Amino acid sequence: MKKVIIVNDKMQKNYRYELIETEGKNFSKDFKPELTPKQMLVLGVFGGRYMTDCVKEFPADWFIKAKLNFLKHDPKLNFFGVNASQPLSVWRQKAWIYPEDPRGWFQWYCRYYLGRRIPYEDERQIKRWKAIKRHIAQIKKNCFKGDLDCRKRQRQAVLHWAYDSRKI
């Protein structure tokens, strides 16, 4: 039997989706994230503010060691200690936000990781994920491998997209 998730948070009311795949399995052949959502939350992403009103939607163990701030965005909570985020208003202006995932790519990734599939949206988001490789190329071109002080903002941004920029 497929599991149905019902979402009621600040950005969605009575949004329902089905988990049709096993958690963390059966990803598109073109999508190979290096970090799980749990690993990203533990490392520190989005200034700790991103998912504070929707923790009930996701597995509790994702949040045990997550770096969260329930009051405000705090770049110090990010792994690289810098702000690498644009406001949601910018994402909306660029039409990067779709109704299914009003918080953007990371929300899509969390739901995809759990097992939700929306073919047209999955394809769009995976295409955006692949485009981040241009930032990885810039880090490789301009930094010595393992120099985590080089291009911290770009490294943090890459981390937001489930690439492990600590290994670049």
Q: What does the pLDDT read at residue 135?
A: 95
Q: How far apart are CA 87 and CA 40, in angstroms?
A: 19
Q: Which amino acid is located at 39 in the chain? A: Q
Q: What is the mean pLDDT of the chain?
A: 94
Q: What does the pLDDT read at residue 59?
A: 96
State the total domains in the chain.
Answer: 1
Q: What does the pLDDT read at residue 1?
A: 65
What is the bridge-based pairing of β-strands 3-8 and 13-19? Answer: antiparallel
Q: What does the pLDDT read at residue 151?
A: 97
User: What residues make up the domain containing 37?
Assistant: 23-167
Flag whether 126 is in a domain: yes
Flag whether 7 is in a domain: no
Q: How far apart are CA 1 and CA 159, in angstroms?
A: 34
pTM score, two decimals? 0.94
Flag whether 116 is in a domain: yes
Q: What percent of the chain has pLDDT over 90?
A: 83
Q: Flag residues of the chain having pLDDT under 50.
A: none
